[in-house]
Amino acid sequence: MSVSAWQSLGDNHASVVEIHGLWTVFQNDGGEQVVHQDLELTIERGEILSLVGGSGTGKTVLLRQILGLQKPTRGEVRVLGRAPAELSAKGAAVVGMLFQHGALFSAFNVLDNIALPLRELKLLPEELIRDAALVKLQMVGLAPEHANKMPADLSGGMIKRVALARALIMDPPLLLLDEPTAGLDPAAADSFCDLLRGLHRELGLTVVMVTHDLDTLLDLSTRIAVLADRKVIVAGTAQEVIAFDHPFIHDYFLGGRGRRALLALQDHTTETP
C-alpha cells in the first residue's frame, strides 16, 4: 500500500472506529463466558469518548480489539476504515496507546522511550528524532532535565506523562487511554486532564478512554458509552446517559460518589458561564 493511500485514511472517514455485531467469548475450563454480545459502537472524529462499565464488562478487552491485540470471536472492528491488524503494521503512526501502568521500556531512559517509534522508522536523522522527542516531552509538562532519567526513577504521574508523550510521538489521529488518571493524586489528575484537553484541542485527536474516575469522566468526555449486559446500552452526552433508565447507570452516577461529582460539575459550570 502506498503512502498516499495511508495518508488519505484520515480524511475520508468521519467515524474513526466502527464496531459492528461484535461478539467476544472466552473459553474457560468447561464453560463459555460471553463478554460482548452483538455490540455496536461508532466513534466519530474529534470526540473524546469514555467507556464506562462495571468490572469484567470487557472495557479493556474492547480497547485491545481496537488496537488489534485481540481478535473478536465474531463481528467486525474497523479503525479508520481498515482492519486493526492492517493498521498495527503501521504502528504508532495511526493509533497511540497509553497503557494503564505506562508500559515504559525499563532498559531505556525517558527520551529513548519517547523516541523509540520514530527510531524504528530507521530513516530520520538522530538530531531530528531527539528534538521531536524533546518537544513531546515538554508538551506533556516535563522539563528537559528529565530526559536522561530511567523509568525506575520516575513517580507514577511522571510515568503516565512519559507514556503519553510516547503515545503521541507520531501525532496519531486516534489515542486510546486505559485508566489515564488511576493512581494519580487529585492535583496530578487535574493537570493530566487539562493536558489531555489541551492536546485534544491542539492536535485534533480522537480520544477513547476507559476510566473509573468520575471527575475525569465528566470533565473530559464529549460522549460516554456505557457497557452493561454485554453491550453498549447507551452512548451520548453525560445528561443523556444519566437520563437513561438502567440499574447500572443508577448505581454508577447516582450513588454517593456520582452525586458528589455531578454536583461539583454543576457548581463548576455555573461559576464559569
Partner 1 sequence: MSSTAPRRSPDDASPRVERAQAGGPGPWMPRGRWTALAFSSRRQWEALERQLDDAGAGGAWDLRGIEQLDHIGAQLLWNHWGRAWPAQIELTESQKAVLDQVERFGARPPQEAAPGFWDSLHRHLAKGPVLWRVGKEGTALLGQLALDLLTLLRAPHRAPWRDISGHLYQTGATALPITALVGALIGIVLAYLISNQLRSYGAESFVVNILGLSLIRELGPVLAAVLIAGRSGSAITAQIGVMRVTEELDAMRVMGIPHGFRLVMPRVIALAIAMPLISLWTSIAALAGGMLAAQMSLDISPEFFFRQLPRAVPFSNIVLACAKSVVFGVLIALIACYYGMRVKPNTESLGRGTTSSVVSSITMVILVDALFAVLFRGIGFRF
Among 1, 8, 38, 267, binds partner 1 (CB under 8 A): 8
The C-alpha cell that represents 89 in the structure block: 503494521
Nearer to partner 1, 52 or 165 (CB): 165
User: Footprint of partner 1 on residues 184-213 (CB under 8 A)?
Assistant: 202
Q: State in angstroms the smallest separation of the CB of 12 from partner 1.
A: 13
Which residue in 263, 63, 40 sits closest to 175, CA to CA?
63
Spatial contact of 16 and 206, defined as CB atoms under 8 Å apart: yes
Is residue 145 at the binding interface for partner 1, with CB under 8 A as the rule?
yes
Amino acid occupying residue 114? I
Q: Are 248 and 258 spatial neighbours (Cβ–Cβ below 8 Å)?
A: no
Nearer CB in complex with partner 1: 168/261: 168
CA distance 176 to 94: 11
Nearer to partner 1, 75 or 91 (CB): 91
Please name the residues in contact with 229: beta carbons below 8 A apart, sequence gap of 6 or more: none
Q: Which is nearer to partner 1, 150 or 265 (CB)?
A: 150
In this complex, which beta carbon is closest to partner 1, that of residue 201 or of residue 260?
201
On whether the CB atoms of residues 77 and 84 are closer than 8 A, the answer is: yes
**Cα R_g (the chain), whole angstroms:** 19
Cα–Cα distances (Å) from 232 to 22, 34, 39, 54, 137, in that order, read 11, 14, 6, 12, 36
C-alpha cell of 158?
Answer: 511522571
| The one segment of 38-46, 101-109, 154-162, 241-249 that binds partner 1 by CB under 8 A | 101-109
| Inter-residue contact 217 to 205 (CB < 8 Å) | no
Name the segment binding partner 1 (CB under 8 A); options: 55-63, 64-72, 121-129, 242-250: 121-129
Interacting residues with partner 1 between 75 and 94 (CB under 8 A): 90, 93-94
Stretch that binds partner 1, among 80-88, 132-140, 224-232, 258-266 (CB under 8 A): 132-140
* Whether 223 contacts 15, CB under 8 Å: no
Check residue 73 for interaction with partner 1 (CB under 8 A).
Answer: no
Size of site (CB under 8 A) for partner 1: 39
Residue 7 interacts with partner 1 (CB under 8 A): yes or no: yes
Instruction: Tell me which of 126, 127, 245, 271 binds partner 1, using CB under 8 A.
Output: 127
- Determine contact, residues 123/93, Cβ cutoff 8 Å: no
Return the residue of 4, 12, 27, 270 that touches partner 1, per CB under 8 A. 4
**Sole binder of partner 1 in the list 29, 123, 126, 273 (CB under 8 A):** 123
What contacts 135, CB < 8 A, 6 or more positions away? none
Interface residues with partner 1 (CB under 8 A) are 2-4, 6-8, 90, 93-94, 105-107, 111, 118, 121, 123-124, 127-128, 130-132, 134-139, 144-145, 147-148, 150-152, 169-171, 202
